[in-house]
Amino acid sequence: MTSLSIVGFVGLSTALLAISTFGILTRRNFILLLISIEIGMNAAILDFLYFAAFPTGSHYFDGLQGQSIAIVLIGLAATEVAVGLAIVLALNRLKGSINVAEASSLRE
């Protein structure tokens, strides 16, 4: 049983989301983009787990539902990394580099 304040948790996940946004906007290496997305996913998972931990549940879901959603999110993040890695390999084969600035053949 813990009694940690909501401001610390949501503040932490907000900070992580801001870092993730910054990374997505500035980084041009595909792997760094994947890492930024993972940081953002972890911020979301942290929020779900914290709101699941309220004794009455949050307004929208109860505790077990929040933890179930967190499990699904972890699975989704792992899947996303697998697909991202496949894109990295395909990009590397096609362009010889994993810089996303060069992956612009759809852009005319």
**55 touching another protein, by CB under 8 A:** yes
Is 102 a binder of another protein (CB under 8 A)?
A: no
Question: Which residues 6+ apart lie within 8 Å of 42 measured at CB?
Answer: 16, 77
Instruction: Output the CA torsion 22→25→26→28 (10° steps).
Output: 130
Total number of residues that touch another protein (CB under 8 A): 71
Minimal distance, residue 107 CB to another protein, in Å? 19
**Which of 74, 67, 31 has its CA nearest to residue 49?**
67
Q: Does 4 bind another protein (CB under 8 A)?
A: yes
- Selected from 44, 49, 100, 103, the binder of another protein by CB under 8 A is 49
